[in-house]
Structure 1
Amino acid sequence: MDDRISLLPNETICHILSFLPTEDVYATSVLSKRWIPLYLSVPTLDIDDKRFVSSGKSYSNFMMMVCATLFAQMVPRYIEKKIGLRKVRISLYGGVEPSLFEKSLTAVAERGMEHLDLLLIVPQSPCYILSFRNLVVLKLKVISFREFPITIDLASLKILHLFRVYFKERWYLAEFLNGCPILEEIEAKDLSLKYDWGFHEQKGKFKKMHECGFHEHKEKFKKLPNLVKANLINLVPFYFTPPLTALCNVQFLRLEEVYDRAVFSNLTHLELVFGTTGADWYMVYGMLNDCPNLQNFVFDKPPLSESFDAGWYEQMELRVVPKCFSSQFRKCTIKNYRYEFGFVKYIMQNSTSLRCMALYTPASLDDPFEKLEILNELFSIRERTSTYEIVFI
Structure 2
Amino acid sequence: MADRISELPDSILSHILSLIPTKLTATTSILSKRWRSVWLSVCTLDFDDATFKDFQSFTNFVSSTMSARETATAPPIHSLSFKCSNESSPYDLKHMNQFLNLVVQQGQLENLDLHMPDQSTEILYLRVVVEIKLVPTIFSCRTLQVLKLNNLILRDITRDHNKLDLPLLKTLHWNGVVFESFKYLIKLLSSCPILQELQGYHSRVMFEKYSGEESFEGLLPNLVKAKIFDSYIPITLLSHVQNLHLETDCADEDHWYYLKCLEDCVDEDDMFDNKQIVPCVSSQLEMFDQQIVPSCLSSQLKTCCLKDYKGTKNELRFATYIMQNSKVLQTMTIKSSCLVDINAKHQMLMELSSSTKGFTTCKLLFDS
Q: TM over 0.5: same fold?
A: yes
Which secondary structure state, in structure 1, belongs to the residue aligned with residue 19 of structure 2? Answer: coil
User: Within 5 A, what are the aligned runs for 1:232-311?
Assistant: 232-235=228-231, 238=232, 241=233, 243-256=234-247, 268-272=276-280, 283=290, 290-300=297-307, 302=308, 304=310
- The answer (yes or no) to whether the contact 1:267–1:291 under 8 Å persists in 2 is no
1:179/1:131 CA distance change after superposition, 3 Å: same
Conserved in 2, the CA contact under 8 Å of 1:131 and 1:152?
yes
Q: Which runs of 5+ in 1 are unaligned?
A: 198-213, 259-265, 362-393
For the residues of structure 1 that align with 2:55 and 2:95, how far apart are their CA atoms? Answer: 18
User: Following the alignment from structure 1 to structure 2, what is the Cα–Cα distance between the partners of residues 185 and 341?
Assistant: 35
> What displacement does 1:146 show?
3.4
- Matched to 1:113, the amino acid is L
The match for 2:124 is none
Aligned residue type for 1:160 = L
What does 1:1-393 align with in structure 2 at a 5 Å threshold? Answer: 1-50=1-50, 52=51, 57=53, 60-73=56-69, 75=70, 77-78=72-73, 83-93=75-85, 94-95=89-90, 98-109=93-104, 110-121=106-117, 123-149=132-158, 150-195=162-207, 223-235=219-231, 238=232, 241=233, 243-256=234-247, 268-272=276-280, 283=290, 290-300=297-307, 302=308, 304=310, 321-324=324-327, 327=328, 329-337=329-337, 338=340, 339=345, 340-342=348-350, 345=353, 352=361, 354=363, 357=365, 359=367, 361=368
Which one-letter code corresponds to 1:357 in the other structure? Answer: L
Distance change in 2, residues 1:177/1:221 (3 Å): farther
> Percent identity of the aligned residues?
27
Q: Is the 8 A contact 1:228 1:251 kept in 2?
A: yes
Q: Would the alpha carbon gap of residues 26 and 221 (structure 1) be closer, same or farther in structure 2, given more than 3 Å must change? A: farther
Distance 1:184 1:190 in 2: 21
Shift of 1:126: 3.7
In structure 1, distance between residues paired with 2:214 and 2:288? 27
Q: Partners in 2 of 1:45 and 1:296 — Cα distance?
A: 41
CA gap of 1:142–1:267, structure 2 versus 1, over 3 A, is same
Q: CA RMSD in A?
A: 4.2
Cα separation, 2, equivalents of 1:278 and 1:250: 22
What amino acid is the match of 1:92?
Answer: C
TM-score (norm 1): 0.66
Residues 22-42 of structure 1: CA distance to partner in whole angstroms, max 9, x if unpaired? 111111111122222211212
Q: How many residues align?
A: 315
In 2, the alpha carbon distance for the partners of 1:289 and 1:59 equals: 48
After superposition, the C-alpha distances for 1:184-237 in whole angstroms (9 at most, x for unaligned) are 12111112111479xxxxxxxxxxxxxxxx99x9668862221222222224xx
- Cα distance change on mapping 1:293 and 1:218 into 2, 3 Å: closer
For residues 323 and 222 of structure 1, the distance between their equivalents in structure 2, rounded to whole angstroms, comes to 22
Partner of 2:120: none
Task: Give the residue type in structure 2 aligned to 1:101.
Answer: M
Distance 1:321 1:103, change over 3 A: closer
CA contact (8 A) 1:146 1:167 kept: yes
Q: Who is 2:127 aligned against?
A: none
Local SS of the residue matching 1:254 = strand
> 1-side partners of 2:102 and 2:201: how far apart?
30
Shift in alpha-carbon separation, 1:170–1:4, aligned structure 2, 3 A = same
For structure 2, the 5+ residue unaligned runs are: 118-130, 249-255, 257-273
Per-residue deviation at 1:100?
Answer: 3.4
Match in the other structure for 1:379:
none
Q: Flag the 1:343–1:58 CA change in 2: closer, same or farther, 3 A.
A: same
Is the CA contact (8 Å cut-off) linking 1:142 and 1:164 kept in structure 2?
yes
Cα 1:322–1:193 change in 2 (3 A) is closer
- The structure that has the greater radius of gyration is 1
Give distance in 1, aligned partners of 2:281 and 2:323.
24
Contact residue 70 and residue 100 of structure 1 kept, 8 A: no
Give, in whole Å, the separation in 2 of the partners of 1:311 and 1:102. Answer: 48
Distance 1:219 1:273 in 2: 16
For the residues of structure 1 that align with 2:292 and 2:155, how far apart are their CA atoms?
A: 39
**8 Å CA contact retained: 1:71, 1:100:** no
Report the Cα offset of residue 11 of structure 1.
0.9
